[in-house]
Amino acid sequence: MISAGGTAAPSRVRRRLYLAHRPPVAYLLPVLVLIGALAAYPFVELVRMALSNVGPTNILGHWGWVGAQNFSSQLDSEAFWAAAKTTLDFTLVLLAVDVGIGFIAASALAEKGRATSFILGLMVFVWALPPLVSGSVWKFLLDGDGGLNALLGSFGVQPLNWLSSPHLAIWSVAGVAAWASLPFSVLIIRGGMLGVNHDLLEAAAIDGAGYWRTQLGVVVPQIMPTLEILSILVVLYAFRSFDFVYVLTSGGPGTETTTLPYLAYATAFTSYDWSEGAAVAVLSMVVVVILAVPYIIGVRTREVTE
C-alpha cells in the first residue's frame, strides 16, 4: 500500500530491509532444524542408550547409566568380531564391483548415443528399485529351484545352494547388493569421465597410446577425486548393509551373513537388548568414521594444493 505522500508503508519498508540484510545463516535455519530433528537428536539418543541399561522393562522409563560396559561386552564378543569380518567381506565385494567393474562399464558408456541412453535409463530403473522388491526377485532367482540354477543346469552344472551354503551365502548377498548399487557408481564415474580434458585424450592418441592405456594412464588420474569420494560412499553403503541381508537370508545360514547392522537389529529387536544393539550401531559408526576420515582429509588436501 502506498501512502498519500507516495512512500511505502513503514511496516513493508522494514520487512524489505530485514529480508535484504538477513544473515546467510538465517536461510539455513529451517534445514538445521530438520537435520537436528531427524538426525542429531536420534543419534544423541542412540549414544545415550548405548551408555545405559535398556531392556523391555524400562524402555519407557528410567535408563540406568552403565558407562562403557555395553561397548566392552561387544568388543569381547565373538559374535561382534564375526559380524565385523562379514561386513568387511561385504565391503570388499562392493568396492571391487562398484569401483572396478563400475569403471569398465562407465568407460564403455562414455560415448553418447541411443544405446547408451537406453542402458543408462535401464540402470537408473534398477538403482531406483526398492531393496525389498529387488531382493525378493533375487531370492526367487537364487533359490535351489530358481532361475539361476535352472540356467546353470542347462549347461550341465549342478544346482548350488546360493543362499543356504555357509561358503556361498555372504558372497551371494554381497553380489546382489553390488548389482543394486552398481548403476549409481557407473553414473558417478561416467560423470567424472565426461569432465576429463579432451586435449589430454588427443595427446595420448597422438603418442600412440591404446584405449585402455589411455583410460588407466590419463583418465584414472584425472577422476581420482571422484573415485575416492565414490569409495567413501560405497563403504558407507556397505556398513548399513541391512536391507538385502534381511530380505535374502535374515543373517543365516547360522550367522554367516550377519553384518554389523543386522547384528544391531537382531540384538535390539530379537533379543530385546536395546542397549547392546545400540552399542553395536555406535561401534559400526566409529569404524566408518575411522575408514572415511583419512580419505576425506586426503581429498581436501589435494583440492587445496591444486
| Of the candidates 272, 221, 262, 266, the residue with the CA atom closest to the CA atom of residue 239 | 262
Does 1 map to a domain? no
**CATH number of the domain where residue 191 is located:** 1.10.3720.10
Domain extent at residue 18: 11-50
Report CA-CA distances (Å) from 197 to 163, 193, 200. Answer: 45, 9, 6
Looking at the chain, the whole-number percentage of residues with pLDDT higher than 70 is 89
Q: Rounded to an integer, what distance in angstroms lies between the CA atom of residue 24 and that of residue 71?
A: 41
What values do phi and psi take at 146, rounded to 5? -80, -175
Q: Are 86 and 30 contained in the same domain? A: no
Percentages (nearest 5) of helix, strand, coil residues in the chain: 70, 0, 25
Tens-digit pLDDT profile for residues 182-241: 999 999 999 999 888 888 888 888 888 888 888 888 899 899 888 988 988 898 888 888
Cα of first residue to Cα of last residue in the chain, in angstroms, is 54
Q: Are 94 and 161 contained in the same domain? A: yes
pLDDT-based confidence at residue 1 (cuts at 50, 70, 90): very low
Q: Are 212 and 120 contained in the same domain? A: yes
Domain count, the chain: 2
Amino acid code (one letter) for 155: F
Does 271 map to a domain? yes
| DSSP codes of every residue in 31-92 | HHHHHIIIIIHHHHHHHHHHTEE--TTTTTS--EE-TTHHHHHHHT-HHHHHHHHHHHHHHH
Q: Which residue's entry shows cell 538403482?
A: 127
Tens-digit pLDDT profile for residues 46-68: 999 999 999 888 888 889 999 89
Q: Which residue's entry shows cell 562379514?
A: 86
